[in-house]
Structure formats: structure tokens, C-alpha cells
């Protein structure tokens, strides 16, 4: 019923709190489908990633974009089992938290489809994850993943493409 990438996104968002990975799995899906609804989810995850690591300007920018995307795509969000108005309010709350200098806190998305929630919780259980787990603020790999991840495959692919363009 729901795309596998979306379920993975929800698991990362609510259990591992790996917002960088949320972005990765859904961006790939978005590129394959071209469906604009995924952009708002991606922007929300990027906003959470920035906020948690203290990039306030980046977080605010991404939250604003995510809120605008959700407002434009309300029906699509509802079709994905999300209460769009509650999501908009949640994102607005995060913008307000930033404005008032409040620290990052983990949150859960307003999932209104009980079967979607059940699927996610079952997959968490199977993977030994806890749905709704708070972010581990001591896990530097999750917090600074963009700097610490292994990028050798990306670098190798870029080099292959460069060689290809140069006719080698």
C-alpha cells in the first residue's frame, strides 16, 4: 500500500532518528517517481538534522520550506496517512522553538492511518528498534553524519563519470 522508501523514512524518523538517512531513502524514491509530495518530507528531515546539530539558519529555512510544501500538498499527505494540519502545526512549533532559542527535541509525525502505524511498529520490533525512541544526543555519527559517513562509493562514481566525459 505504501512505498517501501516511505516506510523506511518513517522508521528512521521515529526509531533511529537518523534524519540524514531519511533524506537519502526518500530522495532516491522521489527521483524515481518525480512525485513532489516527497520533497516536503525530505525538507522536514533535513530541518530536523540541522536543528539537532545546531545549524539554526539551515533548520529554519528547511522547516519553512517543508511547511509550505505540506500546505500545497495537503491531500497527498493525507493520502499517505499523515494529518496534514497537525503536521503543519508541528513544523510551525519547531520554527517557534528555534525563534525562542529552545533546544532540539525528538518528535513523532501525526500518523492517522492505524495500519501504517502498525506496519511501522512491527518493522521496528523485527529490527530491534524502539518506535518513538528519543535521539541519542551522544551519537556523533548520527548527529554529524554528513561529515563522518563513508563516501568512497560516491567519490568513485564521480570519478567514473568524469573519466567517461573525458572519453577515457
pLDDT tens track for 82-100? 999 999 999 999 999 999 9
Indicate left, alpha or beta for 167 from its phi (over 0: left) and psi (-120 to 50: alpha): left
Cell of 149: 559517513
Fold (CATH) for 4-138: Hyaluronidase domain-like (1.10.3450)
% pLDDT > 90, the chain: 80
Across 29-38, 79-88, 147-156, the highest mean pLDDT is recorded for 79-88
Amino acid at each position: 500500500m505504501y512505498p517501501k522508501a516511505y516506510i523506511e523514512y518513517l522508521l528512521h524518523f521515529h526509531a533511529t532518528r537518523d534524519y540524514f538517512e531519511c533524506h537519502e531513502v526518500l530522495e532516491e524514491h522521489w527521483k524515481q517517481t518525480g512525485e513532489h509530495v516527497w520533497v516536503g518530507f525530505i525538507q522536514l528531515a533535513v530541518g530536523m538534522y540541522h536543528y539537532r546539530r545546531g545549524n539554526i539558519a539551515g533548520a529554519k529555512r528547511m522547516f519553512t520550506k517543508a511547511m509550505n510544501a505540506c500546505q500545497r500538498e495537503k491531500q497527498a499527505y493525507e493520502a499517505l496517512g499523515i494529518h496534514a494540519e497537525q503536521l503543519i502545526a508541528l513544523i510551525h512549533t519547531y520554527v517557534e522553538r528555534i525563534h525562542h532559542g529552545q533546544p532540539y527535541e525528538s518528535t513523532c509525525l501525526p500518523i492517522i492511518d492505524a495500519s501504517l502505524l502498525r506496519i511501522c511498529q512491527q518493522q521496528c520490533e523485527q529490527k530491534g528498534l524502539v518506535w518513538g525512541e528519543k535521539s541519542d544526543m551522544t551519537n556523533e555519527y548520527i548527529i554529524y553524519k554528513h561529515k563522518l559517513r563513508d563516501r568512497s562509493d560516491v567519490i568513485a562514481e564521480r570519478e567514473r563519470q568524469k573519466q567517461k566525459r573525458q572519453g577515457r
